[in-house]
Amino acid sequence: MRSSIVKLFAVLVLLCVGSGNIPIANAQVSFRDPKLPLETRVNDLVSRMSLDEKISQMMNAAAGIERLGIPEYEWWNEALHGVARSGVATVFPQAIGLAATFDAPLVQQVADVTSTEGRAKHHEYARNGERQRYKGLTFWSPNINIFRDPRWGRGQETWGEDPYLTGLLGSAFVKGLQGNDPKYLKTVSTVKHYAVHSGPEPERHSFDAIASKKDIEETYLPAFRTTIIDAGATGVMCAYNRLNGEPACASKELADILFNKWKFKGHVVSDCGAIDNIFLRHKVVKTEAEASAISVKHGTDLTCGREYKSLGEAVKLGLIAESEIDTAVKNLMRIKFRLGMFDPPEMVKFTQTPFSANDTDANRALSLQAARRSLVLLKNDRNTLPLRKGLRNVAVIGPNADDVEVLLGNYNGEPSHSTTPLEGVRQKLSGSSVTYSPGMYATGATFEVIDPNAFPGGLKAEYFNNGTLTGEPALVRTDASINFNWYSLSPAKEVNTDNFSVRWTGKLTAVESGRYSIGARGNGPVKIWIDGKEVLTETTNRRTRNTLADFDFVGGRTYDIRVEYVELANHYAQMKLVWTPPNSQERLRKEALEIARTSDAVIMVMGISPSIEGEEMPVSIDGFRGGDRTEIELPKPQQQLIKDIHALGKPVVLVTMGGSALALNWEAENLPAMIHAWYPGPEGGKAIADVIFGDHNPSGRLPVTFYKSVDQLPPFDDYRMEGRTYRFFRGDPLFPFGHGLSYAKFDYARLNLKKEVKAGQPIVVTAEVNNSSSVAGDEVVQLYLTNTYSGTRMPIRSLVGVQRINLRPNEKRPVTFTLDPRAMSAVMDDGGRIVQPAEIRVSIGGKQPGFTGLADAPSTNTVSGTFRVTGEPYQLPK
C-alpha cells in the first residue's frame, strides 16, 4: 500500500513538473540532461516557458525564471580590445592599432587572452551572485564595419578600410574569443554592425545608407561572410541605420543573406535602441509592437533595450505568432547551452578558469608586444631614428605625451598600470635630462587639471556609500588632488562601485593673481565652495561634461575649498577638478619653446583623443561634429607649435596618436621622423620609447589610407565606394594603405607563378624575401592583385594575402600564397561573383605597389608578374 502511494505521488510530481507549476531547478528533466542532443534540450526548455517568460528572455537584461532554475542574465558585455567596463583587465591596443599589426596569429592570441579574462571575471561574479551588465559571457565584439571614410569617429573600433584584412583579423578575433572546444563556447563573439554602417554618428539613428548590390557584395559584406562562415561567429548585431530603405534590424534583404545564403545558426541582437528607431525615427511602422514584430520576423532574436516587452501585445494583435517567438528564444537558449550554463560546472572546462588568470604579467607582456607591432614608422629621413640613448637633454612636448586616457581608446577596460610616452622616455633615459611640457591644452579642452602642488597638505576625502553624502563615511583618506577616472571601478575596496558620493575639503593656493575659470570635468552632480561661498552647482548627469565658473584669485593666497560629487554614471564615472589660470595657453606655449630650445632632440606627442572622436559624442568644436571629424588635419594650435619648434633647428621626432588617418602634409614635408601610434594601450608609452631608441624595430602597416585633406574625399554620407579607400581612390595619398617603414632593409626576388589558370581553379604564387641589412626585423609581406576584366568596375588593386615574417640579418626566406577563385572573381552589378577570363597582375612586397616619393619605403621593394584566367566564366556560389 505504501509503495503504491509513493508511486502515485511520484507520478503527480512529474505531472506538476511538466506543467511548470513547481520549481524544477534540480528535477530530472530533459533540458537538464547533458547526455541528450542539444536540440532536444533546447526544445524541452522552451516548451516549459509561458509566453511572458519567453518574451522576458528576449531583452538584453533577461529575467530569471525561478521555477525553471534559470537565473537572470545580462547579454550585454564588451571586449573590443580586452574585457571592457568590468574593472581591472588587460587592455590591448585599440582595434585599429591591432589592425596595423597585419598579424592574425597575434590577434587570435589577444582574443584568447581576452576570453580567458572574461571567463575568470564571469565566474567570480557568479560566485558572488552578481549578474549585472558587463559580467556575462556574450561579447558584442568585434566591430567589422569597413572604415570607408577617415571622418568617422568610430572607425577606431574597426580593422581598417580593406575587406580582406578586416575578414582575416576579424576571423582571428572571433576564433580567439570562442575557443576551439568541440562542445562548449569559451565566450560568444558578436560581429557588428550588420550591415553597411559607418557614420555619420549624429544621424545614425535615422540615416538611410544607399548602396548598390555591387558595393554591398564587393566591400561591405565580405568580412561578415568570412567571420560567420569561416570563423563560426555565433552572434551578429544589427545596425541602427536603414539600408536601401529597410531598417537593418528588420531587413528582408539582410535576413535572406544571413540565414538563407550563409546558413547562419547563431543569434542576432539589435544595437541598443535600434528597434525603437524603426517606428520613432525611420517611421516605417507606427508602433513599438509593430517594430518588435517585424524585427523578430526578420531574425532579430534579442533587443538591446526593452522594446520587446510589446511582443505580448503583438501576439494579441496577430502581428506575430508565438511559434515565431519560439524560434527566437530557441536561438538564445541554444547559445546558453553552448556556453555550458545548464550543465554541471565540472563538465565545462572553462568554468575552472581562476580569477587569478585576469591581468597577469604574461597578459600585460602580450599587450606590450601588440603595441610594439602596431606602431607605424611613417617617415625616417637620414636615419634620424633610432635616437641615441646618450643624449644629454631630451624635450618631450605635446598634449598627448602624459595622458593615460589617450592610450586607451574607447570600449576599454581599466589597466592596473599604464606607461605614458613621457614615462616611457624617462625610463629609457634614466641618466639623461628629460623635460616636459604639454605645450597647450588638449584639443577641445579649455582647462587643466589642478595640480597637487595647489593643495598644500592634500585634501581630506570622505567617501560615502550613498548618493546623499549622509551618515558615516565608508572611507576617509587624503587625496593629493581631484583627478579620477573610476569608470567601472570602485575608488577603494570600502566604497561602492556605483552610487557613491565624495566630499573633499582642504586648502587651495593660486600661483598668480587674476580671473580663473574653475570647475569640474566628468559626470554626476557637483558643487564647489571657496571660502564658504558656493561658486558652482551642476545638477545634471551627462556622460561627460565640463562645467566652469569664474573666480578672482590672488596669487599666493590660500583659500578654503570644499567639493562635493555624486556618482551616478556607472561605467563612465569620473571627476576632475579643473581650472583655467589667466594666460595659461600662452604660458604653456612659451614653456614648450624654452625646453625645446635647450634640448638635444625634441619628441613631440600630438594628435587627437578618444574624448573628441568616438560614438555619438556631445562634441562640437572646430574640426569635430558629434564624435566624427569634419577636418582631418592636426588641430591648428598643434600645427603651429610644431612649426615653431621646428624653426629652432632641433631634431624633431613627431609621434601622432589617434584612431584614424591624419593629414600631416607640412609635417611630412619638413620633419625628419614620424611615427603613428594609434591608441596603443597601457603599455603604449614603453612601446613608443622602444621604437624611438631602437630597442624594437618598427613593423606596423597602415590599415587605412592617409589622405592629404577632406577635399580628396566624396561626401561623408555617400555610401558609394567610388573614390573611397585605396581600392577605388585614384588620387595621390599622403601615405598609402599598407605603408610602414623598418630599420631593416628587405628585398624581394624570384616571383614564381603559372602563366595560366582555368577559371574556378586556385593558383599558387611564391617569392623570396631577403633581409639585406645588419638589423633583424619583422617584414609584413603583402600580396596585391589587379584584375583587368573590363566588363564591370574593378578595384584598382586589392589585398589578397598577408604574411608577417621575422628575418635575421642577411636571412632569406620563401613565401607562398594560394589564391582561391573568390580572390580572382569580379563582382557584377547584380552582386554575383564570377571568375571571368582576363589578365591578372600580382605584386608581392612590404607595401602597396605604385607609389614613390614620401610614400615610398626605401627599405623595401616589390616583385610583380601576371597570369591569365582562361576557359568559361565560373560562377561562385552565393
Catalytic residues: 271, 613
What are the angstrom distances between the C-alpha of 433 and each of 388, 570, 591, 592? 14, 42, 16, 15
CA–CA separation, 641 vs 190, rounded Å? 43
SS3 at position 152: coil
Instruction: Using the CB atoms, write b or e for 72-84: b if 16+ within 10 Å.
Output: ebbbbbbbbbbbb
Are 236 and 259 in contact by the 8 Å Cβ rule? The answer is: no
DSSP string, 607-621: E--TTTSSSS----S
C-alpha neighbours within 13 Å on the C-beta side of residue 837 = 5
Which residues lie closer than 8 Å to 194 by C-beta, 6 or more apart?
224, 236, 237, 238, 239, 248, 254, 258, 268
Are 804 and 781 in contact by the 8 Å Cβ rule? The answer is: yes
DSSP for residue 531:
T
Are 251 and 284 in contact by the 8 Å Cβ rule? The answer is: no
Structure-derived torsion over alpha carbons of residues 262, 267, 272, 276, reported in degrees to the nearest 10? 80
Q: HEC profile for 73-95?
A: EECCECCCCCCCCCCECCCCCCH
Cell 534579442, residue located: 302
Give backbone dihedrals phi and psi of 625, rounded to 5 degrees, phi first. Answer: -150, 110
Nearest residue to 442 via CA among 599, 570, 624: 624
CA–CA separation, 672 vs 385, rounded Å? 9
Greatest alpha-carbon pair distance for the chain in Å reads 106
Nearest residue to 220 via CA among 237, 242, 236, 197: 197
Which residues lie closer than 8 Å to 652 by C-beta, 6 or more apart?
601, 602, 604, 642, 645, 646, 671, 672, 673
Beta strands in 25-86 (DSSP E): 61-62, 73-74
Nearest residue to 257 via CA among 238, 274, 285, 276: 238
Which residues lie closer than 8 Å to 575 by C-beta, 6 or more apart?
482, 484, 486, 502, 520, 521, 522, 524, 526, 565, 567
CA–CA separation, 104 vs 171, rounded Å? 8
Strand partners, 302: 269
CA–CA separation, 419 vs 404, rounded Å? 8
